[in-house]
């Protein structure tokens, strides 16, 4: 526990033990295209804890046309600095209060006035301002004037043992008078703000200016009836792009707001009417009695009622890396702090905005975003493509201007568009603007602003769907990283098992008792000692209704099982606790695997009870109780017999808990003021009994483990339980193969692993399948060793001491039911149902995120390449482009916003689990994607260029006038190009599968977008000719367009039959650059991962 406290209070707890600047791995990275290393790649950041300098570097290198939109979902570095300044101010306030309190405590104070010196009108004997002032100022003298805890509870109409009544009228009244436990949140961005941000795109602004100039010139030269078409069409097209973009971005924003609200909704226990209830932190009211245990967050400002060894980490509020012990001398508890040790109960005195934490959260509640490694890499892709696009656009602009002003550009009727000295200035300017507009529109299509935002779209979609799969994502990058996970280090209890424990076997008084609750053969001395230990050495509780109904038991699953066993042993919980008082307690510690309590009996004797891991407690015993209550020495024979009983129970997957005690002299107990530092004696114990708890495997966990193994993800069990219990459960879950010898290091104890050197731990880490009797430190060492071997590690954890391992891992998975708030805050994803099967679903979603982005990249690059090549070749050779500005904007809409919606929201399929983990050093554009892209783009370029140069003959338009023939040909090219993209959108769904149609009917969004695209294309061609510079096509041309585009389907099948090398193309370049470089696999993991 001390180690956990040190970590909690450490000012460096948010930093790793090694340099993360290498990109999160101990090797080079393949960047975007498969070339270079992460150390020299600007667009490569670690998945966690990237430095500010690293974040600034990629922002400075990226090519951006619309900064407000591109950086919307990245970390706002300026706001982050503002947040920190607000934190510092409020922390300074807290430190001033604390300093004043310490000064007052140290000085001589006058005796406080009589109780009740301060009175207040109203339903309660005290008002909100008085409570808030006392809580914020930590003024103990004011508390004493109210009559101490008893007087204050009376004023608040609260019973310190049973809490408030808790009926709706009482709760509503308290909220009205003292406030609710909520704080004002800044409103989310309005839709109009998203419209404004979508408007900030530099290219769109240029297009609007060009459209305005064209509109003015057109109206002046051709009149308002005909002259508005060119400029007006572009302006309308730009407005449509802005509106569609804003709607898409606004929907994403709403999804993130809902998910953020879910993250803040902490659930905790309160005592109302003598019963423990689980409520939302927002439902807490002044006067509530709240039990606190290790890892909890203090939910409101309050006062210490009772407890033992209660230590609070106040660093989140004071900034001081110091653990503060709470008792009746220092009773004030601050909202937002964490329980580092011990347990106790608190009385809520201030909630919401009346607390320091409420002020802090109200000031910084707006989320400033977070960029993910994939998002940054995609900015690199977008920058590269954008530079190529700008170069192409500039080349097209120069060529078209040169041809235009030298008289080589012809009108449809064959006349020259510009003749020096003859063409009017207005006409010349209008012609130049049209050329400039085309070049700018090429930039719009070429610079894929939507590419990095597609990550946000797929993450928002995935996060919403993952909630249904019982996973709450706290860190966006974890979604991506989970797709690269090569190993999962899982807890046993509650994750692989149901966490529904029952005592099924018991050995008490030196013999096995059957059934486990049969104490008829035991003397009253033995049974009373056992029940005394069960009732007092616990953090759980038993509520017996006055009407004689079923008892209600609360606490951890282990505590609940033992308390339920105690009830079956005829334990009267409340009566038993009144028979003795607790002098000091040592809460259960996952390092020592046991917890103890010192009791003062009514006879003035002292009993010290211990409960914990059977073999550990047994090793401290020098005696045992027989069934008559006689203390017998623990000789070798009895020690062997007890060990054999433990091993037999453990082999049947039972968790073994031993109960022991020792008498103690009251004279040896330290005085009250020194008891917090008193270490309870834990030697010379007398064994009372051993209980075997059954916790069955979760249904479906064996299949989930099998699926992970098939997908190349190694599952390792890391548990604090006995090595034999761990082995039995591992065999039951499929983590261990019954045909494989379970020997070290496949199965290893934590202490053995801990004793190895760093190099030895690295060597054997990959071979470990089960680690038993592990401490949180052992889990941390295992994670570090696996990561040094190149593994991408996911770790599950629920306790406070698991926080360092959760933080160290690539993906920390906290348990939503049993997990402490400290564990949840250190995690990246919270598994809401504590189920391992849900962890596997997260792996599928992680792979799905990566796969969806790759689908979108393949689709978008195909459009980019085809559109750019067609326009460049046509411009250079013929002096005109077949796709005008409005048509290119429509293509951009299909490619960018609609394409992202269709492809980035594909649900995960089982096929994803047939692959190996996604290599974090694997290039975004794989060999398979290059093949598919080149096949489709080449086909589209050839067909459309042939149509551009010989379309009149092919389409038999020779009988038409030259102007009409050109319009029909260009409309046909535009229509065919759009349908090529529609058919290719289907191909992009399954880049590596021949059949691209499975599951398509279930993806309503995809089908809807395809239908909308086809409908709008039909309307553009048939009814919006003036707007898009198109003419109507007859049904034959429609069929021919669709037929040409549909060739993309069989062509994709043929293309997928062409083999490509497994090694990325970029690796060949790297080998040329760095001969003799020893490259690892795409995952950077040696042959430890099952394939």
Residues designated catalytic: 491
- Other Cβ atoms within 10 Å of 739 Cβ, number: 5
Report which of 438, 439, 436, 430 is spatially closest to residue 227, judged by C-alpha positions: 430
CA distance 823 to 802: 6
Question: DSSP state, 22?
Answer: G
Q: Any alpha helices (H) in 107-190, and if so which ranges?
A: 128-137, 140-145, 148-155, 168-178
Instruction: Strands of 711-765 (E only): list them.
Output: 714-718, 747-749
Q: Are 612 and 658 within 8 A, CB to CB?
A: yes
- Strand pairing of 793-797 and 811-815? parallel
- Strand pairing of 829-831 and 811-815? parallel
Sheet (strand 829-831) strand order: 471-473, 829-831, 811-815, 793-797, 487-490, 714-718, 770-772, 747-749
Question: DSSP state, 111?
Answer: P
Buried b (16+ CB within 10 A) or exposed e, 221-258: eeeeeebbbbbbbbbbbbeebbebbbebbbebbebbee
- Residue 953 is inside which H or E element, if any? helix 927-954
Structure tokens at 552: 């209600």
Question: DSSP state, 122?
Answer: S
Structure tokens at 977: 């190009």
Structure tokens at 147: 């009559």
DSSP string over 249-313: HHHHHHHHHHHHHHHH--EEEEEETTEEEEEEGGG--TT-EEEE-TTPBP-SEEEEEEEEEEEEE
Please give the radius of gyration of the chain, using alpha carbons only, rounded to the nearest integer: 36
Structure tokens at 791: 């593994």
Neighbour-count burial of 985, counting CB atoms closer than 10 A to its CB (0-12 exposed, 13-18 middle, 19+ buried)? buried
CA distance 603 to 684: 22
- Strand pairing of 811-815 and 323-325? unpaired
Report which of 619, 627, 614 is spatially closest to residue 508, judged by C-alpha positions: 627
Phi and psi angles of residue 23, each rounded to the nearest 5 degrees, phi first: 95, 15
- Other Cβ atoms within 10 Å of 845 Cβ, number: 26
CA distances to 477, 478, 538, 775, 814 from 797, rounded to whole Å, are 19, 16, 22, 12, 5
Q: What angle do CA 401, 407, 411 make, to 5 degrees?
A: 90
- Other Cβ atoms within 10 Å of 190 Cβ, number: 11
- Strand pairing of 770-772 and 747-749? parallel
CA dihedral angle for residue 533, residue 535, residue 539, residue 542, rounded to 10 degrees: 160
- Other Cβ atoms within 10 Å of 877 Cβ, number: 12
The residues, any chain, with a CB within 8 Å of residue 165's CB and separated by 6 or more, are 272, 273
Q: How many residues does the chain have?
A: 1091
Question: DSSP state, 113?
Answer: -
Three-class HEC string of 859-879: HHHHHHHHHHHHHHHHHHHHC
Structure tokens at 558: 């282990």
Sign, Cα dihedral of 961, 966, 971, 972: positive
CA distance 653 to 698: 13
């Amino acid at each position: 526990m001390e180690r956990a406290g040190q970590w909690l209070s450490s000012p460096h707890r948010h930093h790793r033990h090694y340099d993360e600047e290498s990109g999160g791995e101990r090797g080079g990275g393949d960047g975007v295209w498969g070339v270079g290393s992460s150390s020299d790649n600007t667009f490569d950041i670690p998945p966690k804890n990237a430095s500010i300098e690293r974040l600034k570097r990629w922002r400075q290198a990226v090519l951006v046309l619309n900064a407000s939109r591109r950086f919307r979902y990245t970390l706002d570095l300026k706001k982050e600095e503002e947040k920190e300044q607000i934190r510092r101010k409020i922390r300074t306030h807290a430190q001033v209060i604390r300093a004043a309190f310490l000064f007052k405590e140290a000085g001589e104070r006058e005796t406080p006035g009589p109780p009740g010196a301060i009175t207040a009108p109203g339903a309660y004997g005290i008002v909100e301002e008085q409570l808030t002032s006392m809580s914020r100022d930590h003024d103990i003298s004011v508390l004493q004037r109210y009559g101490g805890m008893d007087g204050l509870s009376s004023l608040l109409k609260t019973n310190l043992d049973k809490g408030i009544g808790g009926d709706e009228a009482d709760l509503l009244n308290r909220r009205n008078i003292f406030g609710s436990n909520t704080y004002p949140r800044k409103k989310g961005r309005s839709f109009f703000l998203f419209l404004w941000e979508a408007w900030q795109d530099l290219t769109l602004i240029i297009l609007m200016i060009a459209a305005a100039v064209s509109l003015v010139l057109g109206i002046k030269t051709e009149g308002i009836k005909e002259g508005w078409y060119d400029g007006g069409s572009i302006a309308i097209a730009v407005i449509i792009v802005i509106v569609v973009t804003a709607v898409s971005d606004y929907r994403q924003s709403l999804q993130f707001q809902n998910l953020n609200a879910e993250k803040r909704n902490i659930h905790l226990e309160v005592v109302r009417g003598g019963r423990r209830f689980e409520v939302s932190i927002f439902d807490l009211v002044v006067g509530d009695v709240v039990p606190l245990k290790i890892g909890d967050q203090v939910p409101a400002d309050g006062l210490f009622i009772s407890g033992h060894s209660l230590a609070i980490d106040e660093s989140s509020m004071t900034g001081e890396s110091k653990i503060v012990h709470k008792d009746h001398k220092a009773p004030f508890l601050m909202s937002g702090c964490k329980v580092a040790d011990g347990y106790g109960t608190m009385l809520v005195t201030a909630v919401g905005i009346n607390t320091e934490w409420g002020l802090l959260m109200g000031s910084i509640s707006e989320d400033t975003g977070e960029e993910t490694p994939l998002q940054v890499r995609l900015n690199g892709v977008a920058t590269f493509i954008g530079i190529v696009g700008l170069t192409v656009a500039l080349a097209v602009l120069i060529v078209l201007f040169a041809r235009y002003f030298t008289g080589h550009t012809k009108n449809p009727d064959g006349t020259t568009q510009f003749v020096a000295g003859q063409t009017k200035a207005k006409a010349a300017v209008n012609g130049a603007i049209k050329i400039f507009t085309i070049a700018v529109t090429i930039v719009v299509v070429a610079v894929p602003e939507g590419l990095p935002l597609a990550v946000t779209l797929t993450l928002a979609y995935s996060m919403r769907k993952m909630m249904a799969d019982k996973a709450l994502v706290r860190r966006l990058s974890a979604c991506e990283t989970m797709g690269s996970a090569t190993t999962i280090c899982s807890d046993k209890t509650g994750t692989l098992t149901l966490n529904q424990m029952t005592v099924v076997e018991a050995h008490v008084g030196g013999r096995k008792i059957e059934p486990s609750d049969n104490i008829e053969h035991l003397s009253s001395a033995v049974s009373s000692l056992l029940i005394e230990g069960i009732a007092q050495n616990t953090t759980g509780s038993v509520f017996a209704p006055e009407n004689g109904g079923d008892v209600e038991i609360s606490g951890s699953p282990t505590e609940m099982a033992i308390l339920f066993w105690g009830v079956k042993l005829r334990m009267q919980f409340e009566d038993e606790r009144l028979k003795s008082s607790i002098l000091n307690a040592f809460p259960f510690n996952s390092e020592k695997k046991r917890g103890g309590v010192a009791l003062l009996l009514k006879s003035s004797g002292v009993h010290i009870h211990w409960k914990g891991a059977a073999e550990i407690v047994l090793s401290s015993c020098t005696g045992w109780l027989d069934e008559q209550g006689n203390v017998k020495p623990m000789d070798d024979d009895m020690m062997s017999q007890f060990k054999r009983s433990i091993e037999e129970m453990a082999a049947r997957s039972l968790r073994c808990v031993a109960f022991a005690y020792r008498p103690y002299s009251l004279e040896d107990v330290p005085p009250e003021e020194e008891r917090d530092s008193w270490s309870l004696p834990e030697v010379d114990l007398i064994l009372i009994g051993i209980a075997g708890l059954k916790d069955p495997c979760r249904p479906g966990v064996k299949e989930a483990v099998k699926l992970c193994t098939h997908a190349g993800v190694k599952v390792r069990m890391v548990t604090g339980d006995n090595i034999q219990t761990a082995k039995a459960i591992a065999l039951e879950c499929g983590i261990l193969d019954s045909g494989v010898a379970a020997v070290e290091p496949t199965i290893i104890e934590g202490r053995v692993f801990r004793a190895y050197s760093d190099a030895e731990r690295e060597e054997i880490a990959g071979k470990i399948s089960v680690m038993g009797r592990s401490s949180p430190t052992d889990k941390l060492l295992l994670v570090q060793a696996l990561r040094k071997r190149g593994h991408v590690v996911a770790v599950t954890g629920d306790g406070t001491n698991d926080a360092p391992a959760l933080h160290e891992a690539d993906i920390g998975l906290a348990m939503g039911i049993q997990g402490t708030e400290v564990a949840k805050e250190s995690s990246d994803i919270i598994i809401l149902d504590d189920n391992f099967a849900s962890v596997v679903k997260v792996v599928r979603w992680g792979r799905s995120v990566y796969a969806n982005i790759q689908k979108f990249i393949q689709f978008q690059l195909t459009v980019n390449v085809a559109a750019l090549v067609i326009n460049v070749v046509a411009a250079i050779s013929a002096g005109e482009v077949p796709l005008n500005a409005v048509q290119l904007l429509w293509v951009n809409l299909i490619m960018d916003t609609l394409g992202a919606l269709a492809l980035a929201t594909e649900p995960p399929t089982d096929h994803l689990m047939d692959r190996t983990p996604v290599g974090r050093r694997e290039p975004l554009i794989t060999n398979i994607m290059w093949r598919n892209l080149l096949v489709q783009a080449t086909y589209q370029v050839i067909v459309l260029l042939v149509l551009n140069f010989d379309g009149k003959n092919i389409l038999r338009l020779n009988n038409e006038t030259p102007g009409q023939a050109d319009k029909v040909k260009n409309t046909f090219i535009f229509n065919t190009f759009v349908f090529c993209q529609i058919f290719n959108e289907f191909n992009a769904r399954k880049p590596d599968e021949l059949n691209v149609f499975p599951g398509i009917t279930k993806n309503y969004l995809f089908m809807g977008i395809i239908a909308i695209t086809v409908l709008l294309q039909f309307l553009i061609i048939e009814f919006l000719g003036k707007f898009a510079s198109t003419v109507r096509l007859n049904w034959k041309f429609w069929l021919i367009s669709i037929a040409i585009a549909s060739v993309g389907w069989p062509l994709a099948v043929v293309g997928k039959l062409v083999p490509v090398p497994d090694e990325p193309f970029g690796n060949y370049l790297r080998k040329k650059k760095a001969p003799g470089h020893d490259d690892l696999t795409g995952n950077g993991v040696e042959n430890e991962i099952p394939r």
